[in-house]
Amino acid sequence: MAGQRSIDDAPPAYFDAASAAPLHPAARDGLAAALADGWADPGKLYAQARRARQLLDAARAATAEALGIRPDELTFSASGTAAIHRAVDGLVRGRARIGPTVVHSTVEHSAVLNAVAAHVRAGGSAVPVEVDRAGRVDLDAFTTAVGGPGVAAAALMSANHEVGTAQPIAGAVEVCATAGVPLLVDAAQSVGRVPVPPGWAVLTASAHKWGGPPGVGLLAVRTGIRFAPTLIEGADPEPALPLVVAAAASLRAVLADAHAEAARLGPLIDRVRHVVAQTVPDVEVVGDPVDRLPNLVTFSCLYVDGEALLHALDRRGFAVSSGSSCTSSTLQPSHVLEAMGVLSHGNVRISLHRDTTEAQIDRFLAELPGIVATLRAEAGVVDL
Amino acid sequence: VTPTGNSSGTNNPSGTGDDAGSRAADQGQEPDEVLDCRGQRCPLPVIALARRMAEVPIGTVIRLLADDPAAPNDIAAWSRMRAQQYLGSPAPHILDIRRLT
């Protein structure tokens, strides 16, 4: 079978930027420079400390500028997940007098859903808002939910990490402004790639999604927002200074290229959507075909085992992700695919980045139909 | 987990298959036959349903027993893709589907 052939003839292709993008050279340079020059404790009163403090301040200023906010509105967290937990906690505690309810879409990242679940376990409440077949939140239902009594906060992601569909952030901003409810935007998949509409109250992001180092989350809280996170000393430490410098340097670098990269990767994704649907029988390409992330596509192959498909692709040098239940530690299917009502088995997500080449996409599109056909033949489902 | 279902796919549920050739039934949703796929992981229940659906007359309601967490979603999605009618889940691990085409 195809999967047992040698992959010597083709270099591997990493298509899982939505989990972690390969480290940008600017991040590597920034990390090395900060390790050489910013190793001192920035809180001390000598030349080495001042140099470290300058690096940290410059990194904060550059990152804040990239997000369109003031430096004092930005906090660095140990991860994107930590930033999200702090965001939800800070909003619900800051607005406890207004009410206990958090409104959120059903396709939020599990970090948001877990933070909301923790809030519910602590006595709060939550109103999930459904999405359509493309994974886009129902803005009318969102409006109704946000306008309900006792809403402390609303959470809506900028674009979905599993299917790429962009959410109507500009509309949600308006709705929340009218209702006087702060909007939390998890922008992990957008920051560094596509602009996020302004007007949110709180925004979170994660450096390793844009090519920065792992271990750096961003939490932006606009001035005037009631925000009172639980303060447990040491529970959410700031990342090490060199990591923050590397994150800032890489964000500046990816933003400089973001427009061109979106213009380069967008058509590659269009091609994958079109060609996969044409060449693989019984495949469902999901997510919004137009209003979406420029670098991500998801499809499901009927009657194919997702884990077997991932392994077969891996043997051919393709690193991809899947929302199929057999590939998850809990054996639960993706809550995103379920919320959309699309096939969850045989699912493949590919997410591209600055190192992705057209030749890699060509090879993927050339090999995928045979790989799927082989798996279907092995399972005896070809004529179903 | 090993499959515990009837691997050949079909059997008649006691009390529904005995007295009626094809029971058009009380609420229009009484199953004509039962397919036991408990213990099977997706996509196996979907494959079993697709195989059996091709063999039964149009109008037949198949009751699929499946405890894989992905089964309700994937059976509903399959029904949509294959233009069959997903009738819903009257109880946990029970899914009813009618052959339309």
ipTM: 0.89
pLDDT tops 50 at residue A318: yes
Q: Per-residue pLDDT averaged across A321-346, rounded?
A: 89
Q: What percent of chain A has pLDDT over 90?
A: 92
CA A375 – CA A368 distance, rounded (Å): 11
Distances (CA, A) of B69 to A132, A328, A334, B47: 21, 12, 10, 16
Residue A293 and residue A159 in contact, taking contact as beta carbons nearer than 8 Å: yes
What part of B 66-95 touches A (C-beta under 8 Å)? 68-70, 73-74, 76-78, 80-81
Interface check for A305 against chain B (CB to CB < 8 A): the answer is yes
**HEC letters along chain A:** CHHHCCCCCCCCEECECCCCCCCCHHHHHHHHHHHHHCCCCCCCCCHHHHHHHHHHHHHHHHHHHHHCCCHHHEEEECCHHHHHHHHHHHHHHHCCCCCCEEEEECCCCHHHHHHHHHHHHCCCEEEEECECCCCCECHHHHHHHHCCCCEEEEECCCECCCCCEECCHHHHHHHHHHHCCCEEEECCCCCCCCCCCCCCCEEEEEHHHCCCCCCCEEEEECCCCCCCCCCCCCCCCCCCHHHHHHHHHHHHHHHHHHHHHHHHHHHHHHHHHHHHHHHCCCEEEECCCCCECCCEEEEEECCCCHHHHHHHHHHCCEECECCCHHHCCCCCCCHHHHHHCCCCCCEEEEECCCCCCHHHHHHHHHHHHHHHHHHHHHHCCCCC
* Known catalytic residue at A326: yes
CA A219 – CA A225 distance, rounded (Å): 13
Residues 6+ apart with CB under 8 A from B51: A384, B9
pLDDT computed for residue A156 by the predictor: 98
pLDDT computed for residue A10 by the predictor: 74
Interface check for B52 against chain A (CB to CB < 8 A): the answer is no
Interface test mutation site (partner A, options B37, B40, B41, B42, max chain A beta carbons within 10 A):
B42
Stretches in chain B below the pLDDT threshold 50: 1-27
Interface test mutation site (partner A, options B37, B40, B47, max chain A beta carbons within 10 A):
B47
Residue A53 and residue A42 in contact, taking contact as beta carbons nearer than 8 Å: yes
- Chain segment A323-334, per-residue pLDDT in tens: 887 777 777 899
Which strands, in side-by-side order, build the sheet including A202-206?
Answer: A74-77, A217-221, A202-206, A183-186, A151-155, A101-105, A125-129
**Among candidate residues A289, A293, A384, the one with its CA nearest the CA of residue A346:** A384
Q: Which of A326, A328, A335, A374 is catalytic?
A: A326
Which residues on A lie below 8 Å from B47 (Cβ)?
303, 379, 381, 384
Q: Per-residue pLDDT averaged across A196-211, rounded?
A: 98
pLDDT tops 70 at residue A127: yes
Q: Per-residue pLDDT averaged across A12-37, rounded?
A: 97
The minimum CA-CA distance between B46 and chain A, rounded to whole Å, is 7
The minimum CA-CA distance between A312 and chain B, rounded to whole Å, is 17
Cβ separation A331–B41 shorter than 8 A: yes
Cβ separation A346–B43 shorter than 8 A: yes
Distances (CA, A) of A98 to A146, A185, A222, A252: 13, 20, 19, 38
Cβ separation B69–A337 shorter than 8 A: no
Interface check for A284 against chain B (CB to CB < 8 A): the answer is yes
The mean pLDDT value of chain A amounts to 95
Q: Which stretch of A1-5, A87-91, A122-126, A206-210 has the lowest confidence by average pLDDT? A: A1-5
Q: Per-residue pLDDT averaged across A280-297, rounded?
A: 97
pLDDT computed for residue A307 by the predictor: 93
In the three-class reduction of DSSP (H, G, I as helix; E, B as strand; rest coil), residue B98 is classed as: strand
Half-sphere exposure of B76 (CA within 13 A, CB side): 16
Q: Per-residue pLDDT averaged across A136-154, rounded?
A: 98
A-B C-beta contacts closer than 8 Å: 61
Interface check for A290 against chain B (CB to CB < 8 A): the answer is no
Which residues on A lie below 8 Å from B80 (Cβ)?
341
The minimum CA-CA distance between A325 and chain B, rounded to whole Å, is 7
pLDDT tops 80 at residue A109: yes
pLDDT tops 70 at residue A196: yes
Q: Per-residue pLDDT averaged across A290-310, rounded?
A: 97
pLDDT computed for residue A355 by the predictor: 97
Q: Is the alpha carbon torsion for A289, A290, A292, A293 positive or negative?
A: positive
Residue A165 and residue A292 in contact, taking contact as beta carbons nearer than 8 Å: yes
CA A311 – CA A169 distance, rounded (Å): 36
pLDDT computed for residue A234 by the predictor: 73
pLDDT computed for residue A146 by the predictor: 98
The minimum CA-CA distance between A109 and chain B, rounded to whole Å, is 19
Which residues on A lie below 8 Å from B41 (Cβ)?
325-326, 331
